[in-house]
Homo-oligomer: A and B are copies of this chain.
C-alpha cells in the first residue's frame, strides 16, 4: 500500500482537518491518534475495491444510526468532498428513519444541515 494513512485521511476529511486533528488527537491520546492513522485510514479506508463516495455515504449511514453527531458532521463533509451531492446524503438519512427510527433521522438531518453550511462557507472562502 503506497499511500500513507495520513494521505488517505486527507482524501476523506481534507488536508486541513488532518492537521487540526493531529493537534487535537495528540493532546487527547497519541495512541488513539496512531490507531486512526495506521489502522482506520492506513488499513480499512485504504482498500480500493469500494469507491470513496460509497464508503463515505456508508459511514454517514452508520454514524447517524449510532447517534454520533460530532463524527457525522465530519463525514457529511467527507461525502461532499467525494462527490456526493446534498440530495444523495438526504436520501441516506431518510433511510435511517426506517432502520434506526425517526428521532435518529431527524437529529442526523439537523447535523447534516449545519455541516453543509460550514462546508459551503469554507468553499466560498477558498475561492
Cβ of A42 to closest chain B Cβ, rounded Å:
10
A125 at the interface (CB under 8 A from B): no
Cβ of A75 to closest chain B Cβ, rounded Å:
10
- CA distance in complex: A50, B63 (Å): 18
The verdict on A106 contacting B32 (CB below 8 Å), with A39-B39, A44-B98 known, is yes
Number of this chain's copies in the complex: 6
Contact with A43, one of B39, B55, B70, B90 (Cβ below 8 angstroms): B39
Chain B residues in 8 Å Cβ range of A88: 49-50, 54
Using CB atoms and an 8 Å cutoff, list the residues of chain A in contact with chain B: 28-29, 31-32, 35-36, 39-40, 43-45, 47, 49-50, 53-55, 57-63, 65-68, 70-71, 87-88, 90-107, 109-110, 113
25 A-B residue pairs with Cβ-Cβ distance under 8 Å, sorted by A, are A28-B106, A28-B110, A29-B109, A32-B97, A32-B106, A35-B94, A35-B97, A39-B43, A44-B94, A44-B95, A44-B98, A45-B95, A47-B94, A50-B88, A50-B91, A55-B91, A58-B61, A61-B62, A62-B96, A63-B103, A65-B65, A66-B99, A68-B103, A68-B104, A71-B106
